[in-house]
Amino acid sequence: MLIDKIISEAVSRAVKALYGVDAPADSIVPQATRKEFEGNLTIVTFPWVKAARKSPEQVGTEIGNWLVDNEPAVNRFNVIKGFLNIVIEPTYWNAVLKHISETPDYGFTRPTADSPLVMVEYSSPNTNKPLHLGHVRNNLLGFSLAQILEACGNNVVKTNIVNDRGIHICKSMLAWQKWGEGCTPESTGKKGDHLIGDFYVLFDKHYKAELKELMSQGLSEEEAAAKSPLMAEAREMLRKWEQGDADVRALWETMNTWVYTGFDETYKRMGVGFDKIYYESQTYLEGKEKVLEGLEKGIMYRKEDGSVWADLTADGLDHKLLLRADGTSVYMTQDIGTAKLRYQDYPISKMIYVVGNEQNYHFQVLSLLLDKLGFEWGKDLVHFSYGMVELPNGKMKSREGTVVDADDLMDDMVADARKVSDELGKLDGLSADEAANVAEVVGLGALKYFLLKVDPRKNITFNPAESIDFNGNTGPFIQYTYARIRSVLRKAADAGLAIGDYTTAVPGEREIALVQRLADFPSVVQEAGRTYSPALIANFVYDLVKEYNQFYHDCSILKEENPEVRSLRLTLCETTAGVIRAALNLLGIGVVERM
């Protein structure tokens, strides 16, 4: 039994014995004592002041005395105003450590067949360009959230919706037709997603030149856009696609295949994946069908131009377009169709959309529309809204080719990690393959940790140099500490220092602080799942690593002569390494055994 549960139950018995109050143990939640006060755990006494008819200080003193007399785990106490600070009998922390070290999957609640099923949607790329820095944050948040929710006891389905149709796709296709000269990923040596992205940028370049020429003839920008022959060709291509034109569809399938091959490489290197992928080209008709059903039932209305709308003014919103005058779908319609298919495919208990905060309004509307269309789960969908990633020099623009491609970013991070690790001697004595692996794991770990350690709702300015630092709140600092612990354990094994019994060893302040930090892990995992915040895991593991480094600095491990104390400290090393690895795994971050 963990120490906080022992104290909760003891306090419950105390207030019953002293004041006749029935206080369930699970309603009494000890908190870690603030560092400026003596104690390990703190209990707030205010809830029992009225029943006791005494001051908070008197109540704290009476409960403290009762605990000292009746609970062997309590060594002593002090009271500061209404806060009872409890000092735990030092050897009890050994039992806590033993429980942690011997618990399989410590900190996790593994799902069963009867556990709720949560679907997490993330990534949502367009097939007209490669994944960029913004997608990186989206993918890392979505994958980490899925890992955390599973660790909280949910069955999880990771899903992706690929935006593979629309005018933006036709722009790349048209540009390839006009200026591609039959090139392929093989003939150019480029990843397919990068090749198609180049044509998307090329379309925009020619389109802007065309607008400039038209405007030089006296047309306004709006008039020039309406008369653009290039944009008219793109719209015509979209109409042909919707009509099932064989040539347009064949080109679309070929170019999308190039893109998917490129996406798969990026996802694999990033360490994320999906259980099910949906495609808008397969879901938009389902959405269109549901909207037309809504029209028949009077939930939607049709304007004179033939477009279909939903009136959401009674819900505090406005009128929302669902089908254009030419009958083509908008994103909202496609999302309705995708949602319908997902709930047909899976018995979903909760649906979570990982999408940036610029789409907050979209998901307000989607939730309302799904509810109005009769989907009982509509009101319960969760929009995991996160902030944007910006660069020191401003926002990214796909059309202008100023985005930071995910592949280029990962290459740069690994190269920087290799350079910094070399300069600091972290790769000394490693083989070429081992050094390359360290650079890959550390470089990507730096990127992931930097993007995940911040509250997801906040915007981030990504700073690569700051992320690859072996000191401070960074991925490399945590990974290096893990490698240091593994080195200690290898040296212990080489010296024949087996871990024996440590039941009667008296832990000191550093050992107790580290055990107490380890004991927090399960509650942090649950809170991260409840609040959808990978940042809580990131900050926990950083605090754990700081605590370990204090312990490592102050306590002799391999040279400790008392075998029980040495066993206690080696167990702390082994257990801390396991929790670091488990926490980083929730963030999708790897570890290395040597550095």
Instruction: Say whether both 378 and 463 belong to one domain.
Output: no
CATH code of the domain containing 350: 3.40.50.620
Distance between CA atoms of 392 and 484, rounded to whole angstroms? 34
- Other CB atoms within 10 Å distance of the CB of residue 459: 12
How long a stretch of residues is the chain?
595
Buried b (16+ CB within 10 A) or exposed e, 45-59: bebbbeebebebbeb
In a domain, 73, yes or no: yes
**Tokens encoding 291:** 């909207």
DSSP 8-class letter at 244? T
Detail the DSSP E strand segments found in 267-378: 276-279, 301-302, 308-311, 319-323, 350-356
In a domain, 39, yes or no: yes
- Other CB atoms within 10 Å distance of the CB of residue 114: 6
Instruction: Say whether both 270 and 284 belong to one domain.
Output: no
Instruction: Say whether both 477 and 582 belong to one domain.
Output: yes
Instruction: Say whether both 244 and 285 belong to one domain.
Output: no
pLDDT of residue 331: 87
Distance between CA atoms of 184 and 190, rounded to whole angstroms? 8
End-to-end CA distance of the chain: 36
Q: 420: which residues sit within 8 A by CB, 6+ positions away?
A: 468, 469, 470, 476
In a domain, 286, yes or no: yes
DSSP-based three-state secondary structure for 137: helix
Could you tell me if 454 and 460 are in contact, meaning their C-beta atoms sit under 8 angstroms apart?
yes
What strands, in cross-sheet order, belong to the sheet with 155-162?
276-279, 155-162, 117-121, 350-356, 382-386
Instruction: Say whether both 257 and 355 belong to one domain.
Output: no
188 residue type, one letter:
T
In a domain, 568, yes or no: yes
pTM over 0.75, yes/no:
yes
Instruction: Say whether both 256 and 286 belong to one domain.
Output: no
The C-alpha angle with vertex 423 and arms to 421 and 426, in degrees rounded to 5, equals: 40
Q: How many structural domains does the chain have? A: 4
DSSP-based three-state secondary structure for 453: coil
Could you tell me if 373 and 299 are in contact, meaning their C-beta atoms sit under 8 angstroms apart?
yes
Instruction: Say whether both 263 and 290 belong to one domain.
Output: no
Parallel/antiparallel/unpaired status of strands 83-88 and 155-162: unpaired
In a domain, 422, yes or no: no
DSSP-based three-state secondary structure for 362: helix
pLDDT of residue 402: 55
* Domain termination residue (choose one: 89, 121, 144): 89
In a domain, 121, yes or no: no
pLDDT of residue 1: 52
Instruction: Say whether both 229 and 307 belong to one domain.
Output: no
pLDDT of residue 242: 87
Rg (CA), the chain: 30
* Domain termination residue (choose one: 238, 255, 274): 274
Which among 80, 60, 77 is positioned nearest to 68, based on CA atoms? 77
* pLDDT tens by residue, the chain, 595 residues: 578 899 999 999 999 999 999 999 999 999 999 989 999 999 999 999 999 999 999 999 999 999 999 999 999 999 999 999 999 999 999 999 999 999 999 999 999 999 999 999 999 999 999 999 989 999 999 999 999 999 999 999 999 999 999 899 999 999 999 999 999 999 999 999 999 999 999 999 999 999 999 999 999 999 999 999 999 999 999 999 989 999 999 999 999 999 999 999 999 999 999 999 999 999 988 999 999 999 999 999 999 999 999 999 999 999 999 998 988 788 899 999 999 999 999 999 999 999 999 999 999 999 999 999 988 778 889 999 999 887 776 544 444 445 788 999 999 999 999 999 999 999 999 999 999 999 999 999 999 999 999 999 999 988 888 898 888 999 999 999 999 999 999 999 999 998 999 999 999 999 999 999 999 999 999 999 999 999 999 999 999 999 999 999 999 999 999 999 999 999 999 999 999 999 999 999 999 999 9
Question: What is the domain extent for residue 225?
Answer: 160-274
In a domain, 564, yes or no: yes
Could you tell me if 108 and 98 are in contact, meaning their C-beta atoms sit under 8 angstroms apart?
no
**Tokens encoding 236:** 């015509």
Distance between CA atoms of 310 and 327, rounded to whole angstroms? 15
CATH code of the domain containing 519: 1.10.730.10
**One-character DSSP codes across 280-300:** HHHHHHHHHHHHHHHHHTTSS
In a domain, 482, yes or no: yes
Instruction: Say whether both 399 and 450 belong to one domain.
Output: no
* Domain termination residue (choose one: 230, 248, 274): 274
Instruction: Say whether both 578 and 479 belong to one domain.
Output: yes
DSSP-based three-state secondary structure for 589: coil
Distance between CA atoms of 89 and 512, rounded to whole angstroms? 10
Instruction: Say whether both 221 and 289 belong to one domain.
Output: no
Distance between CA atoms of 402 and 396, rounded to whole angstroms? 6
Instruction: Say whether both 510 and 385 belong to one domain.
Output: no
pLDDT of residue 574: 97
58 residue type, one letter:
Q
